[in-house]
């Protein structure tokens, strides 16, 4: 049903992402690709891949599209706690906890592999490099979560939005989704607001400020970063927390 050559392409972001954490063995890559091919799924924008309170029984690996993890308060306030990008895994290990404590929603059309728990465990057990890479990715995800806490807790609006843009840029880079200094940026200002803990109105004004100082262009779902260095400076951004090993 899916020609193998196409699947190979689909798995590219995952392999690139994991390779950046730990050099994957040939065998590991093959096993991973097989597992991905066997579990292909799609989701539409707005659809939830998982909802707070759901039992967890499988791991999802994102092949294309953007998602977000979010939590909702009783009165409707929503906080996006992280974005999930191509190559990321959803809850590589959260299945150790039996219930989801947050929801995962698709922001765009999404392609992902759904790998059932036993299959996933076998995958981890059969290749050491794969196991380490996937744990590593989970740890990086925690590190990102910590930085978000800092971002929302201690940065002012301008810094905060700038920081988020820097992070997304740096995360999209290793999976090959940056074209020059531009990338697709499929999220609304409302999403941005829920991710930064700001109001939509203020996000709008903050973006205008960033545009006004010539740092970025954001139009028609395309983000262009004109001056990455200065954007990082205004964001007080350091990429260390992403633990991206630079290698050849």
Which residues from 176-205 bind DNA, rule CB under 7 A?
A: 188-190, 197-202, 204-205
- Per partner kind, with CB cut-offs from 5 to 8 A, the member of its own copies, DNA, none near residue 74 is its own copies
> Residues 73, 74, 96, 156: which binds DNA (CB under 7 A)?
156
- Per partner kind, with CB cut-offs from 5 to 8 A, the member of DNA, its own copies, none near residue 208 is DNA
Residue 21 vs 63, nearer CB to its own copies: 21
- Per partner kind, with CB cut-offs from 5 to 8 A, the member of its own copies, DNA, none near residue 64 is none
- DSSP category for residue 213: T
Contact residues for 136 (Cβ-Cβ < 8 A; gap 6+): 21, 22, 243
Contact residues for 166 (Cβ-Cβ < 8 A; gap 6+): 228, 231, 232, 235, 237, 239
- Per partner kind, with CB cut-offs from 5 to 8 A, the member of its own copies, DNA, none near residue 6 is none
Name the residues that contact its own copies, by CB under 8 A: 52-53, 69, 71, 73-75, 77-79, 81-82, 93-94, 96-99, 101-102, 132, 135-136, 138-143, 145-150, 152-155, 196-197, 236, 240-241, 243
Residue 114 vs 191, nearer CB to DNA: 191
- Per partner kind, with CB cut-offs from 5 to 8 A, the member of DNA, its own copies, none near residue 158 is DNA
220 belongs to the binding site for DNA (CB under 7 A): yes
Which residues sit opposite 218 in a β-bridge?
223
- The string over 137-155, giving b where at least 16 C-beta atoms fall within 10 Å of a residue's C-beta and e elsewhere, is bbebbeebeebbeebbeeb
| Element (DSSP H or E) covering residue 135 | helix 128-154
Q: What order of strands is seen across the sheet that includes strand 89-90?
A: 40-43, 110-116, 58-64, 89-90
- CB 167, CB 147: distance < 8 Å: yes
Cα gap 105→84, rounded to integer Å:
9
Residues forming contacts to DNA in the complex (CB under 7 A) are 156-158, 188-190, 197-202, 204-205, 207-208, 220
């Amino acid at each position: 049903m899916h020609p193998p050559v196409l699947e190979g392409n689909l798995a590219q972001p995952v392999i690139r992402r994991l390779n950046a954490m730990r050099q994957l063995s040939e065998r590991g890559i093959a096993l991973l690709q097989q597992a991905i091919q066997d579990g292909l799924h799609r989701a539409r924008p707005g659809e939830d891949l998982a909802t707070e309170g759901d039992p967890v029984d499988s791991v999802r690996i994102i092949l294309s599209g953007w998602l977000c993890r979010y939590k909702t308060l009783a009165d409707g306030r929503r906080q996006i706690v992280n974005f999930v990008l191509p190559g990321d895994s959803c809850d590589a290990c959260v299945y150790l906890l039996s219930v989801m404590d947050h929801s995962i929603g698709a922001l765009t059309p999404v392609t992902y592999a759904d790998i059932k728990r036993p299959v996933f465990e076998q995958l981890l057990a059969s290749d050491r490099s794969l196991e380490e890479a996937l744990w590593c990715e989970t740890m990086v995800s925690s590190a990102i979560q910590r930085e978000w806490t800092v971002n929302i807790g201690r940065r002012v609006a301008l810094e905060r939005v700038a920081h988020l843009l820097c992070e997304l840029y740096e995360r999209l880079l290793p999976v090959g989704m940056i074209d020059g200094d531009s990338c697709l940026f499929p999220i609304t200002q409302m999403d941005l607001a829920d991710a930064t803990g700001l109001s939509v109105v203020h996000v709008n004004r903050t973006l205008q400020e960033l545009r006004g100082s010539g740092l970025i262009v954001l139009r028609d779902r395309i983000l262009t970063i004109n001056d990455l260095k200065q954007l990082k400076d205004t964001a007080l951004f350091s990429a260390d927390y992403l633990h991206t090993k630079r290698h050849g």
